[in-house]
A and B are shown apart, each in its own frame.
Chain A
Amino acid sequence: MVGIDWFLGLSAVMFTIGVVGVLIRRNAIVIFMCAELMLNAVNLSLVSFASYYGNISGQILVFFALAVAAAEAVVGLAIIIAIFRNNLTVDVSKINLLRW
Chain B
Amino acid sequence: MIVYLFMMLAVLAVGSALAVVINKNVINSALFLVLNLVSLAGLFLVLNAQFLAIIQVLVYAGAIMVLFLFVIMLLNVENEEKLFDKFRVKYFLTFLLAIGVMGQIFYSITGAADMLPAISENMAYVGTVEAVGDVLYTKYLFPFELTAILLTAAIVGALMIAQHKIKRTDEI
Contact = CB atoms under 8 A, between A and B. Distances in A.
B80 A20 contact: no
Given A62-B52, A82-B161, A17 B14 contact: yes
B33 A16 contact: no
A32 B69 CA distance: 12
A84 B73 CA distance: 13
Contacts of B117: 4, 49, 52-53
A22 to B, nearest CB: 9
A43 B44 CA distance: 10
A90 B14 CA distance: 27
Nearest to A2: B6
B98 A94 contact: no
Nearest to A52: B117
A17 B166 CA distance: 36
Interface string B115-147: 011111111001100011001100010010001
B14 A10 contact: yes
B118 to A, nearest CB: 7
A23 B10 contact: no
Given A32-B68, A52-B116, 17 more contacts: A10-B10, A12-B102, A12-B105, A16-B102, A51-B47, A51-B127, A52-B117, A52-B123, A54-B121, A54-B122, A54-B123, A60-B135, A63-B52, A71-B154, A77-B68, A82-B164, A90-B75
7 tightest A-B contacts by CB?
Answer: A54-B120, A71-B154, A21-B21, A78-B158, A12-B105, A78-B162, A78-B161
16 contacts: A4-B119, A10-B14, A10-B43, A12-B105, A13-B14, A20-B94, A40-B60, A44-B44, A53-B120, A56-B131, A59-B51, A59-B126, A70-B151, A73-B67, A75-B157, A81-B71
